[in-house]
Amino acid sequence: MNSNPDTKQVPLRIPKKLITPIFYTKKKHRIFEGGRNGAKSESIARALILLSTKYIGNILCTRSVQLTIKDSTHRLFSRLIEKMGLSDCFDVRKNGITCLINGNEFIFRGCNALSDPKSEGAKGLDEVRFCWVEEAHTITDRDIEILLPSVRAKNSIFFWSFNSNRRPCPVSNYFEKHSQAEFTSIHYYENPYLTEEQRREAVELARINFQKYREVYLGEPSTDTTRNVLILKWINASIELFKQEQERAKYEEENNIPEDKRTDKNFDGQVVYGLDVADEGADSNALAKRQGNALFDIKERATGDTAQTTEWAVSIMLQDIGSLNFDRVGVGAGVKAELRKSFPEIKTTPHSNGDAVKHKLRQWEKTGIKNKDMFLNFGSQHWFKIRTMFQNSFKKLHGLKYEGDYITINPDIELLLKLKTQLLQIEFESNSKGQIKIIKSPEGTVSPNLADAFMICFRKPKVRAGVIG
């Protein structure tokens, strides 16, 4: 049996647009994005099969979370090895694949295993030459921090693939200005191997729902307000309003405008903090700070016990004393006890999404529907209150009429891109009774600790300066 692929006629079947960025670019990080059926995953898998026969070094195939081998790309590789006529060059086993030509191993392991000190997640990574991160939009900042230094082989190469309708995401944020990163976008109409059935499905969706077609097949960011609690243009409006109000405040101060003649700003009011306490796993603690209805900052910290988390939060709060809203569910329940013991002067308000709806018999925003019939619980009710505030930000920015409060966000927040990403992942749906319920972590996303802290921080309406909540 001859196991040398050089003597075989191996079908490449990779779109011409992808050949240079996959095989010939000098960049270490090769990032592929686009819509459905753009041949991203199959092209990278075919390329890695061939590269594994040419170079010495293992191939790590990873994603944010992999609980079993069924969650991995193992099945895709197995199918393509047979389809490419290379079955005699590879030993395909239930939990792994070995190249028989040089002994290279295909390692299928999630980032959740790489970050778990109790597992052998990092075993064999020193010899990894190629790393493929599939569904890269689900990767977290912490995954990137762990993954990049773990792959230390000389001349190692990373392939990242994701659907661009999930922008912004940690991968796009991290590599957008990275000197060793190259982005390539490809869509279904650029795939010469697209089947007629796949083409018809795309055309049919375009006929039925053109906006959904643009998101699914062209990879455009979602504007679907039927599922997303928030959309990007509302969030961007809140950021632009913050800039405008800062500039107006600076002008009035520099020109000595009397206090009673100055215009109201969204950041006129008391300081309020929102603390989301991490659960077990890769989650992090997060602390948001607002003044009035303006978000000034948001920070996160790796997991620690309740006492450490409380001490961390208080060390920040002591710089600008304010009241604290905190998540009392799960491990967060210990925060109040810690505060009572060590910092009794801090006013606290516990928060739980599972609490009963407030003002049950009132109608929701002139809809004629009572709150108890509109929402499943307090969490869904509060997220929709925040949704209205973001909509008001958009209306105010564009000179439209609105009722109630609006939100502004400081553009200089260090974690702003990550916060935006998490806010955009929050979805909602109706239960069997027609009540709205929130889906914080849709499939393929992670626990939104920053978004949770943001939401908890805005639990109460704007508190004017000098007014006790």
C-beta separation of 413 from 353 below 8 A? no
Residues 305 and 432 in one domain: yes
Final residue in a domain of this structure, among 186, 217, 248: 217
Q: DSSP states of 104-135 as a string?
A: -EEEE--HHHHT-TTTTTTTTGGGEEEEEESS
Phi, psi of 400 (to 5 degrees): -95, 160
Residues 149 and 261 in one domain: no
Residues 189 and 245 in one domain: no
Asked whether residue 226 is assigned to any structural domain, the reply reads no
Give the pLDDT score at 2: 44
Packing angle of the helix pair 232-254, 416-425 (nearest 10 deg): 140
State how far the Cα of 375 lies from the Cα of 436, in Å rounded to an integer. Answer: 5
Give the pLDDT score at 315: 83
Domain holding 400: CATH number? 3.30.420.240
Residues 188 and 242 in one domain: no
Give the pLDDT score at 175: 94
Residues 257 and 189 in one domain: no
Tell me the pairing of strands 294-301 and 348-351. Answer: unpaired
Packing angle of the helix pair 416-425, 449-457 (nearest 10 deg): 90
Asked whether residue 227 is assigned to any structural domain, the reply reads no
State how far the Cα of 436 lies from the Cα of 364, in Å rounded to an integer. Answer: 12
Residues 254 and 333 in one domain: yes
State how far the Cα of 388 lies from the Cα of 394, in Å rounded to an integer. Answer: 10
Residues 210 and 291 in one domain: no
Q: Distances from the Cα of 19 to the Cαs of 44, 46, 61, 292, 343, in angstroms? A: 10, 11, 20, 53, 61
Asked whether residue 443 is assigned to any structural domain, the reply reads yes
Neighbouring-strand partners of residue 219: none
Asked whether residue 223 is assigned to any structural domain, the reply reads no
Q: Domain limits at 55?
A: 5-217
Contacts 24+ apart (CB under 8 A), 18-23: 18/43, 18/184, 18/186, 21/182, 21/184, 22/47, 22/159, 23/47
Q: Looking at residue 366, what DSSP letter applies?
A: T
Asked whether residue 268 is assigned to any structural domain, the reply reads yes
Give the pLDDT score at 461: 54
Per-residue pLDDT tens digits of the chain, which is 469 residues long:
344 555 567 778 999 999 999 999 999 999 999 999 999 999 999 999 999 999 999 999 998 878 788 888 999 999 999 999 999 999 999 889 999 999 999 999 888 777 655 555 555 577 899 999 999 988 888 889 889 988 888 899 999 999 887 777 889 889 988 999 999 999 999 999 999 999 999 888 888 877 778 888 988 776 655 688 998 889 999 999 999 998 988 888 888 888 777 777 777 788 999 998 876 545 688 999 999 899 999 999 876 677 788 788 888 887 787 888 888 876 666 677 777 777 777 788 888 899 999 999 998 887 778 899 889 999 999 999 999 999 999 999 998 888 888 999 999 999 998 899 899 989 998 888 888 999 988 876 778 999 999 999 998 755 444 333 2
Residues 111 and 20 in one domain: yes
C-beta separation of 59 from 102 below 8 A? no
C-beta separation of 346 from 323 below 8 A? yes
Residues 166 and 240 in one domain: no
Give the pLDDT score at 463: 47
Question: What is the three-class DSSP state of 255?
Answer: coil
Give the pLDDT score at 465: 40
Is residue 117 classed exposed, middle or buried when 0-12, 13-18 and 19+ CB atoms within 10 A define those classes? exposed
Residues 246 and 181 in one domain: no
pTM: 0.59
Contacts of 192 by beta carbon, 8 Å cutoff, 6+ apart: 15, 16
Asked whether residue 406 is assigned to any structural domain, the reply reads yes
The residue whose two tokens read 């966000």 is 409
Residues 323 and 410 in one domain: yes
C-beta separation of 194 from 188 below 8 A? yes
Contacts of 387 by beta carbon, 8 Å cutoff, 6+ apart: 229, 230
Final residue in a domain of this structure, among 169, 194, 217: 217
Asked whether residue 308 is assigned to any structural domain, the reply reads yes
Contacts of 127 by beta carbon, 8 Å cutoff, 6+ apart: 57, 58, 153
Rounded to an integer, what is the distance from CA 377 to the centroid of its chain? 24
Residues 148 and 205 in one domain: yes
Asked whether residue 307 is assigned to any structural domain, the reply reads yes
| Number of domains forming the structure of the chain | 2
Domain holding 27: CATH number? 3.40.50.300
Q: Distances from the Cα of 137 to the Cαs of 14, 77, 114, 154, 218, in angstroms? A: 23, 21, 18, 26, 16
Final residue in a domain of this structure, among 182, 217, 252: 217
State how far the Cα of 44 lies from the Cα of 49, in Å rounded to an integer. Answer: 9
Query: Please, where are the H alpha helices in 71-225?
Result: 74-83, 111-114, 141-150, 170-175, 196-208, 210-217
